Structure 1
């Protein structure tokens, strides 16, 4: 997809930046806690948070690491994230950088940790982004990606894809577990662990973060309510008097690493080194 689509992303998230900062379903959750357990951050770590949104992940990890670079495609979102973190007053080690996930403006091997939360389904080219993640990670670096899991059932997957686009037209595609495994492998990252975590969304807050007007909210509400029973069961849709109150989807937490530096299998002994020194070079051979 071209730059025109990325400008649509900037417009969409610039318009809704404040709502993302205020959204409670981003400010905490089991996914953050589990990511920290897997990554084991330390004060030696230099961390990159890609597509940082309202800055919640950067804020969560900042006390645990040396520095966090919070990056996002949308400058307005970065400004709101910076204001949010400054108002919290608890950390001073977060810096902000405008950056495209598919073309990160950082030298190779810049970071020991990398995170990306609830964003890849907006990326036009996820494999390209993963290659960039691999490039900017130092050897032995650790990475955690959290994103919405595409349901395996085709009918449920179609409902999910439609409702996500109804809510936010910059949604491109979520992936199932097998697709993620393949993409991680192709990027030469080493998959260490995958976890699936349920996440319950307050329907009104969920629509607010996308900046939907009343008519669009009602349209989306009807789409949920008119869905077949198996859709209601899968998403655990809770409603009252015809109004959706909440639904639950599944998030995929991927923990992967970049390959460690190659270690020499054979360590030469002192006699072997001396033998090589005593051998005549090609230039002196008859």
Structure 2
């Protein structure tokens, strides 16, 4: 899917992100603020800001927040939420995470929440985030992660295959999905960019299948349900589908990472 197609898809669904429970209220929102430990004089960049939920959570603690998103339709919604909350230290701009329109060293922190699985080139995003950070600044990322392993052998191969399966499941539901990395891949990518990982953890979240798949036709919902309920063993262990009270739930996992740019402030 091209970036123009991504803009069109997210533009058409922009309003849904204002009230989306995963984006507006997820547990990782509080984790992000706590781990970043924002300071009063900071200038923060929140990339792929969408409806601005992470930017809004950080704004009361810092001097200024810039929210950047590829989709223009998102930004008036984010600005509207900021106005509703009486926050005057936010600005929103259109831009590409792979070519950030800012000078090097412009920010004390860069944040990105539940978005990198839509990026064509995660390594380029990390490199750009590192570029616009001041020495000693922090990059904080939250994103869905899939099973993976650095090891060899049958069990490691099964974990990587499970990761591929979960990505295929997600992509069928959402064509703008590019790829979730594994926890191990995130750590390796951050280190490869010259950053020092200071915090890392995972949090599980349960989604209701019927809500998650609601945008699709009954035929597509059936295909997705079959993928969920008939997943191979390692993928099924990760997704953990459960049925009850007429609804089906399943598990996804978020990885949470804070990495620091080397050098003195």
CA distance in 1, matches of 2:203, 2:22: 13
1:219 and 2:223 are equivalent in the alignment:
yes
Residue aligned with 2:251, SS: strand
User: How many residues are aligned here?
Assistant: 255
- Offset of 1:241 from its aligned partner? 7.3
Distance 1:29 1:241 in 2: 23
Matches of 1:74 and 1:259 in 2, distance apart?
Answer: 32
Following superposition, the deviation at residue 64 of structure 1 comes to 1.1
- Structure 1 portions without partners, runs of 5+: 263-286
Q: Residues of 2 paired with 1:202 and 1:58: CA distance? A: 26
C-alpha contact 2:137 2:260 (8 A) present in aligned 1: yes
Q: Distance in 2 between matches of 1:192 and 1:151?
A: 22
- Based on CA coordinates, which of the two structures has the bigger radius of gyration? 1
1:104 is the counterpart of 2:100: yes
TM-score normalised by length of structure 2: 0.88
What CA RMSD, in Å, does the superposition of the two structures yield over aligned residues? 2.0
Tell me which of 128, 132, 136 is aligned to 1:136: 132
TM-score (norm 1): 0.82
Please tell me whether the aligned partners of residues 23 and 205 of structure 1 are also in contact (alpha carbons under 8 angstroms). Answer: no
Question: Is the alpha carbon distance of 1:143 and 1:159 closer, same or farther for their aligned partners in structure 2, counting shifts above 3 Å?
Answer: same
Residues 1-286 of structure 1 aligned to structure 2 (within 5 Å): 5-87=2-84, 89-152=85-148, 153-208=159-214, 211-228=215-232, 231-240=235-244, 243-244=247-248, 246-261=249-264
Change (3 A) 1:135 1:230: closer
Aligned to 1:272: none
Distance 1:84 1:222, change over 3 A: farther
Unaligned stretches of 5+ in structure 2?
Answer: 149-158
